Amino acid sequence: MKKKLYVATFGCQMNEYDSQRMVQMLSSDYELCKVPEEADLIIVNTCSIREKAENKVYSLVGRFRRLKDQNPDLKIAVTGCVAQQEGRRLQERAPFVDIVAGPQGIHSLPKALKEVHRGRQAVTLTTLQDDFVIPEIKAPLPEKDAVRTFITIMQGCNNFCTYCVVPYTRGREVSRPPAHIIDEAVRAVSQGVKEITLLGQNVNSYGKGLGTTFSGLLRSICNISGLKRVRFTTSHPKDLTQDIIDCFGDLVPLCEHLHLPVQSGSNRVLKRMNRKYSREHYLDIVERLRRRCPQIVLTTDLIVGSPGESDDDFEQTISLLKEVEFDQIFAFKYSPRPNTKAARFNDQVDEEIKSARLTQVLELQNEISLKKYGMLVGRTVEVLVEGVSRNGRGQLTARTRGNHVVNFHGPKELIGTFCNIVVEKAGYHSLVGSLLDPSSAPLHNGSKVFTLPLS
C-alpha cells in the first residue's frame, strides 16, 4: 500500500507547479491525502515574497510538529523560497523538520527521503547552481481532471529588482528546451486540458542560450491541435517585444489578457527599483498592445510605499492607473526582504503612509474595475467552465478569454466545456450571467473577436 502525502502550497503559480512535480516524483511510493493528520509525509512548499507569507510557514510547521507525537514515522519537508532563504536556520528554529529544499533542491527530494528514512537526522538542499538544468521527470503526469493547467517554461530570475527576493531564492534564469515544454503541453491536452498557462518569473526573456525566443515558443504552443486557450505569466515590460505584441493579434488560442506588472508610475521610483523601463515606455507598450488587439484586457501589480516614494511619486502611480484603466490590479505595501538592496535603503516609508496609500489605490481601482466589468453587461461572452463556484449559491464558475470570472447557474456537466453566457451584473472582481441556449453557435469561430456587440 502506498504511503500518504499531504502538500500545503503557498505563493505563486510556479510553486503550485513545483508542488505538482513533487507529487509526480514521489508517485511510486506516495498518494495524496486530504488532511495532514493522515500523512506519512508533509510537504510545506513556501513563499517568501512578502513578510506575512513567511510567518505563516513557521506557525504552520509548528502545528504539524504535534502530529509527530501520534505518528513517529511522519516526515516533514519544507520546500520552496522560504526554505532556500532560511536554509539551516530553518532547521535550527524548527529542528523537527526533516528536509529543507529550495526550488532547485526539490528534484533531489526522493533521494533525501530515503536518507532520512535510513536514519539521517536532517537534509538541507539549498545549493543554488548558476548552470542549473531543470530535470525532466520520468514518472507520468498526475491524473488531470483539470480544465486548465500550468507549465513552467523557465526558472529563476536575473533582473534583481531592488525590492525582490526571487533572484536569491530561485537563482539564475534557466529555460527548459522547447521540445520538453511542447511534449508536456501535448500530453496535457490529450488528458483533456483546455487551457494552458506558461509560467516563469520573466517569460518574455525565455530562450536565452537555447537559440529560440518566447514568441517562437508561443507560436509552437498555439499550434497544438485541440488546445483552445493559451496564457502566459509573468511578463516584464522591458522584454515585451513587438513580436510578442503581434502574437496577441495573430494567434487565435492566445487569450486576450496580459498581466504586465508596472510596480510604479513614477520614473524616479522605477529607477530605484531597477525596473529598466520608464513610465513612457510602459504607456507606449499599452498603446501598441491596444492597437494590435483592441479587446485586450490588462492587469498589473504595483507596490506602494517603496523606499523614498514621495507623495508626488505616489500621485504618478494614481495618474497611471487612471490613464491605463486596468481591469484588475494586485497592489502590495512594500515589504523589506532579506538580501535585497531596497531593504538597506535608508529612506523607508512609514507604515501608516503605506497603509493609507494602499487604501487609496484600492478604492480608485474598485471604481475602475466596476466601470470596466460593467462594460460587459448585456454582452455575450465565451467562457470555459472551471467548476462549482465557492460563493455558496450553487453556481458554476467560469472564465472569459479576458480572464474575467463569471458565475452562473447551470448543470455540472458543463464543467470543462465552453459555453456562451449573457453577462447580467458586474462586481469588482467578477461577473454574474446566464447561460445562453447550449445549441447557440460558438463565438470562437477562428477569428479574434469573442464578444458579441451590444444588441
Binds ligand SAH (CB under 6 A): choice among 299, 335, 365, 420? 335
Q: Is 166 in the site for ligand SF4 (CB under 6 A)?
A: yes
47 contributes a contact to ligand SF4 by CB under 6 A: no
Grid coordinates representing 372?
Answer: 470596466
The rounded distance, in Å, linking the Cα atoms of 196 and 215 is 16
Find the binder of ligand F3S among 5, 6, 7, 12 (CB under 6 A): 12
Binding segment for ligand SAH among 89-97, 103-111, 279-287, 334-342 (CB under 6 A)? 334-342
Phi, psi of 317 (to 5 degrees): -70, -45
Among 30, 332, 373, 408, binds ligand SAH (CB under 6 A): 332
Question: Measured between alpha carbons, how far is 409 from 180 in angstroms, rounded to an integer?
Answer: 39
Angstrom distance (rounded) from CA 287 to CA 146: 35
Take residue 26 and report the three cell numbers written for it.
514521489
At its nearest, how many Å lie between ligand F3S and the CB of residue 14? 5
The dihedral over CA atoms of 15, 19, 25, 30, expressed in degrees to the nearest 10, equals 170
Task: Give per-residue burial for 96-133: e unless 16+ CB within 10 Å, then b.
Answer: bbbbbbbbbbbbbbeebbeebeeeeebbbbbebeeebe
Candidates 19, 27, 205, 234: give the one binding ligand SAH (CB under 6 A): 234
Region of 99-107, 114-122, 328-336, 409-417 interacting with ligand SAH (CB under 6 A): 328-336
Give helix 351-374 / helix 311-324 axis angle, nearest 10°: 10
Taking CB under 6 A as the criterion, the residue among 146, 161, 203, 342 binding ligand SF4 is: 161
Range list of H helices, 347-442: 351-374
Cα-Cα-Cα-Cα dihedral sign, residues 281, 285, 288, 291: negative
Q: In the complex, what is the shortest distance from the CB of residue 110 to ligand SAH, in angstroms, rounded to a whole number?
A: 29
Site membership for ligand F3S, residue 299 (CB under 6 A)? no
Binding flag, residue 161, ligand F3S (CB under 6 A): no
* Cβ-based nearer residue to ligand SF4, 299 or 369: 299
Site for ligand F3S in 39-98 (CB under 6 A): 47-49, 80-81
- By beta-carbon proximity to ligand SF4, the closer residue of 50 and 144 is 50
Measured between alpha carbons, how far is residue 388 from residues 121, 148, 244 in Å? 44, 14, 34
Alpha helices in 293-350 (DSSP H): 311-324
Query: Does 334 help bind ligand SAH (rule: CB under 6 A)?
Result: yes
**85 lies in the site for ligand SAH, by CB under 6 A:** no
**Contact pattern for ligand SAH over residues 135 through 174, marking x by CB under 6 A:** ----------------------------xx-x--------
Residues 226-255 that bind ligand SF4 (CB under 6 A): 236
CB of 3 to ligand SF4, least distance (A): 35
> Considering only CA atoms, which of 288, 308, 306 is closest in space to residue 298?
288
167 contacts which partner out of ligand F3S, ligand SAH, ligand SF4, none, CB within 5 to 8 A by kind? ligand SF4
If one asks whether residue 160 binds ligand SF4 (CB under 6 A), the answer comes out as yes
Least distance (Å) between residue 170 CB and ligand SF4? 8
- Long-range contacts, 335-340 (Cβ 8 Å, 24+): 335/50, 335/51, 336/51, 337/48, 337/49, 337/50, 337/163, 337/164, 337/165, 338/48, 338/85, 338/165, 338/168, 339/85, 339/165, 339/168, 340/162, 340/163, 340/164, 340/165, 340/168
Asked if 300 is part of the footprint of ligand SF4 (rule: CB under 6 A), the reply reads no
Question: C-beta of 9: minimal distance to ligand F3S in Å?
Answer: 9
The answer to whether residues 228 and 384 touch, using CB atoms and an 8 Å cutoff, is yes
Residue corresponding to grid cell 463556484: 389
166 binds ligand F3S (CB under 6 A): yes
Which helix H or strand E contains 248, and what residues bound it? helix 242-250
Q: Footprint of ligand SF4 on this chain (CB under 6 A)?
A: 157, 159-161, 164, 166-167, 201-202, 236
Q: Footprint of ligand SAH on this chain (CB under 6 A)?
A: 49-50, 163-164, 166, 201-202, 234, 236, 261, 263, 301, 303, 332, 334-335, 337
Q: Footprint of ligand F3S on this chain (CB under 6 A)?
A: 11-12, 14-15, 47-49, 80-81, 165-166, 169-170
